[in-house]
Structure 1
Amino acid sequence: MNIDYVAALLIGFLGSSHCLVMCGGIVAALQFAMPAQSAWQKFRLQLLLSLGRLITYACFGGLVGYFGATAMGITGATFIGLRLLAGLLLLAMALYIARLWFGLTRLERAGQGLWRFIQPYTKRLLPLDSSGKALSYGMLWGFLPCGLVYSTLSWSLASGSASSGALIMLLFGVGTLPALLVFGSAANSLVKLKNQLWFRYSAALLLAVYGIYTIWLALHRLVF
């Protein structure tokens, strides 16, 4: 598997503590928006919500990847600049996961205007009493402003194609699933693990090393 895809999955998983803050309340609220039914039925609707969100992420990634590849074709430029951007974004994500710098959250402001337009449509889908409503709500949920999503989306710009951009965003979304689908003691255990200094710093170091490697590859091609 391309190491970019592994990194995207890792970023989604390691950054999902932010997802718990951003979306944990939404998940809990949506539980109450589901009519009284069995635990399995509610879990099925939760899966459809997540599937809808991942579909939106993948569509965004595909569009951005296509735009990046098309722009390179029109201008005749190389992917070196985009790969440099990808490496710098990986370093920014590493600092975010290590909780040493929270600059990525500033990107969320860029999407507030679009979310204010989208949010009223989510209310029309409540209560979530059907599979179609759950899937549709999840697709709209994918528009929720998130610094990590935007950073990974920018990284998809350097993927080289629509399919690669879509896959990067899809794997990022898959990485966030454990944090949003587990509840109770399992969720508490996951949060405690991610709050451990050794875990955060080890994960951040892995991303930083890959970010530096990505930058080195781009500069190596530029020079040689």
Structure 2
Amino acid sequence: MNAELAVNLFAALSIGFLGSSHCLVMCGGIASALQLSMPGLSLMQQLKLQLMLSLGRLTTYSLLGALTGAFGAALLVKLGISLFWLKLLAGILLLLMAFYVARLWFALTVLEKFGSALWRKVQPVAKTLLPLDSSAKALAYGLCWGFLPCGLVYSSLGWSLASGSAVQGALLMLAFGLGTLPAMLAVGSFARQLSQFKNNTLIRASAACLLAFYALYTIAIALAPRLF
């Protein structure tokens, strides 16, 4: 594993964790409702199904990352589009994510509208899987859940596009998904405590600064060959 990929994977993991306060708003209610739809099961059985849900969601993220990375590679080879432009796009999307986390600009929410049409087709399929009374149903629902429109997911996919590789694209989205796990598995009072922690002004500002650093790092990587 090269140094740039290692840094990117750590960044993707961090972004998933830092940005998951948005996940708590969008998906936290879904996660709690799904847990309530697990009839007459013990806490351990419910946890198992929650893990299967997350496995399905992360599988979809990884698949989307692979497809996006492969598409980026095809653009590079067949259309002759420079990696410079893909990396620059990724850096800009990360910068928008920093603005979003800092609550300075919510441009990322515009991206969510692009996935709404697809979600309207997937959602009816997901509903047929309720109640979640088996691991297979939980896994299948998680696969559907991964298509829920989310600006953070789409901006991370822009990063996968710039990877120029199906494998790296999948790894980046997997790392991002793993970062969101604590928020998605945290329900009830712990979820509220986690949300309060992430919404603390100092924590939010620190997270935004870290995201901005990753964004500028990505942009610098893109610009370096042209400047030096």
- Does residue 147 (structure 1) correspond to residue 151 (structure 2)? The answer is yes
Other-structure match for 1:119: 123
Other-structure match for 1:35: 39
| Deviation at residue 220 of structure 1 after TM alignment | 2.2
TM-score by length of 2: 0.95
Structure 2 distance, partners of 1:64, 1:211, is 19
Structure 1 distance, partners of 2:173, 2:221, is 22
- Does residue 103 (structure 1) correspond to residue 110 (structure 2)? The answer is no
Other-structure match for 1:60: 64
Residue in structure 1 matching 2:80, options 76, 80, 84: 76
Other-structure match for 2:49: 45
Identity of aligned residues (%): 61
Q: Which amino acid aligns with 1:88?
A: I
1:78-119 Cα distance to aligned partner (Å, 9 max, x none):
311111111111111111111111110111111111111111
Q: Which amino acid aligns with 2:210?
A: L
Instruction: Tell me whether 49-58 or 68-77 shows the greater mean CA deviation.
Output: 68-77
After the TM superposition, which segments of 4 or more aligned residues of structure 1 sit over 4 Å from their partners?
none
The gaps in structure 1 that reach 5 residues or longer are none
Q: Which amino acid aligns with 1:197?
A: T
For the residue of structure 2 that corresponds to 1:183, the secondary structure is coil
The gaps in structure 2 that reach 5 residues or longer are none
TM-score by length of 1: 0.96
Structure 2 distance, partners of 1:163, 1:14, is 24
Structure 1 distance, partners of 2:7, 2:179, is 15
1:195-214 Cα distance to aligned partner (Å, 9 max, x none):
11111111111111221122
Residue in structure 1 matching 2:192, options 178, 188, 194: 188
1:10-57 Cα distance to aligned partner (Å, 9 max, x none):
111011111011111111111121121100000100000010000000
| Deviation at residue 180 of structure 1 after TM alignment | 1.1
Other-structure match for 1:222: 226
Structure 1 distance, partners of 2:35, 2:214, is 38
Structure 2 distance, partners of 1:176, 1:165, is 17
| CA-based RMSD | 1.2
Other-structure match for 2:165: 161
Other-structure match for 1:14: 18
For the residue of structure 2 that corresponds to 1:143, the secondary structure is coil
Residue in structure 2 matching 1:202, options 199, 206, 215: 206
Structure 1 distance, partners of 2:106, 2:79, is 34
Contact 2:161–2:169, Cα closer than 8 Å, also in 1:
yes
